[in-house]
């Protein structure tokens, strides 16, 4: 383990966060918990958190529209529930893939994308992401359905686990859970379930959606069009040919 060195900028950062914490009346540095599907936020010990538990700041929970759980009575903001305006970095606009700039999945211009952190894992192609200071179209916690890729089913209530579904799910979890990601969008922002349709880029500028297909963990999902459709089809053909992942011999 590396020793922790306290340098001047760290101390300055701490002073700034303490001061901004005072401005936020404690809402920014109070941790509360939300679930994958619920609309309430909770204390860590609440029994409602048995299925999933995602730590967020009280401020993020409030700005995302979560309400205090009536059972565990988590902290609420002081001064009549009104949060003062927050001074934060400028919001990023949504980065849409289009023909004039990003035409290949491998060209990720992550500095222009919306940054987030993977805080929950559902299966190979679906994740929960926390977006600090989200643009107006987005919430602080979003369920992301990765665009243009379909991994074998593992969590469908009425279908059996498909071959290679667990491997795909484990691959996504190992690579992304707890990690920073950058979001890019295409024609449609959400699917009919309200999930955000996005390309997830890793800090090295690689498109994880493409990587899933390339490594044989998923199929190119071609029922709806998207800008990388031809490229993703080609990646799938190469994975089949190379017998990678789900294309290997059973
Ligand atoms: Zn609760």
How do residues 81-102 score in pLDDT, each as one tens digit? Answer: 445 555 555 566 788 888 777 8
Of 140, 133, 153, nearest to 93 by C-alpha is 133
Cα(143) to ligand 1 centroid in Å equals: 21
Q: For residues 121-136, give the mean pLDDT.
A: 92
Cα(121) to ligand 1 centroid in Å equals: 21
Q: Which of 43, 190, 195, 244 is catalytic?
A: 195
Class of domain 105-247: mainly beta
Choice among 70-74, 133-137, 155-159 with the minimum mean pLDDT? 155-159
Which of residues 25 and 198 earns the better pLDDT score? 198
Of 122, 112, 142, 144, nearest to 130 by C-alpha is 142
CA atoms of 108 and 125, how far apart (whole Å): 19
Of 26, 35, 29, nearest to 67 by C-alpha is 35
- Is 190 designated active site? no
Q: For residues 242-247, give the mean pLDDT.
A: 94
Which of residues 181 and 64 earns the better pLDDT score? 181
pLDDT of residue 19: 42
pLDDT tier at 220 (50, 70, 90 boundaries)?
A: very high
Cα(44) to ligand 1 centroid in Å equals: 8
Query: Are the C-beta atoms of residues 165 and 154 closer than 8 Å to each other?
Result: yes
pLDDT tier at 48 (50, 70, 90 boundaries)?
A: confident
pLDDT of residue 30: 86
Cα(85) to ligand 1 centroid in Å equals: 27
pLDDT of residue 15: 45
pLDDT of residue 36: 74
Residue 130 predicted with pLDDT over 50: yes
Q: Which tokens sit at 245?
A: 């992942």
pLDDT of residue 102: 81
Q: Which of 153, 167, 215, 231 is catalytic?
A: 153
- Is 117 designated active site? no
CA–CA distances in Å: residue 110 to residues 96, 107, 119, 165, 227: 12, 9, 19, 29, 17
Q: Domain extents for the chain?
A: 8-68, 105-247
Cα(173) to ligand 1 centroid in Å equals: 27
- Is 195 designated active site? yes
């Amino acid at each position: 383990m590396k020793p922790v060195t306290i340098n001047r900028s760290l101390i300055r950062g701490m002073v700034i966060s303490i001061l901004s914490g005072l401005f936020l009346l404690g809402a920014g540095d109070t941790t509360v918990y939300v679930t994958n599907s619920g609309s309430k936020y909770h204390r860590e010990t609440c029994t409602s958190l048995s299925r999933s538990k995602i730590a967020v700041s009280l401020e993020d929970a409030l700005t995302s529209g979560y309400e205090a759980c009536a059972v565990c009575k988590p902290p609420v903001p002081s001064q009549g529930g009104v949060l003062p305006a927050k001074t934060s970095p400028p919001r990023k606009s949504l980065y849409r893939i289009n023909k004039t700039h990003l035409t290949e999945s491998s060209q990720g211009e992550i500095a222009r994308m919306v940054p987030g952190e993977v805080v929950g894992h559902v299966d190979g192609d679906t994740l929960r992401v926390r977006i600090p200071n989200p643009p107006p179209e987005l919430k602080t916690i979003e369920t992301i359905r990765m665009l243009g890729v379909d991994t074998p089913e593992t969590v469908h209530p009425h279908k059996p686990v498909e071959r290679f579904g667990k491997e795909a799910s484990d691959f996504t979890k190992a690579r992304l859970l707890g990690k920073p990601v950058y979001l890019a969008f295409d024609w449609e922002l959400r699917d009919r379930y309200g999930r955000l349709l996005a390309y997830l880029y890793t800090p090295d500028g690689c498109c994880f959606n493409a990587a899933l297909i390339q490594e044989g963990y998923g199929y190119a999902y071609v029922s709806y069009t998207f800008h990388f459709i031809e490229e993703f089809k080609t990646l799938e053909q190469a994975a089949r040919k190379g017998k990678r992942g789900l294309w290997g011999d059973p």
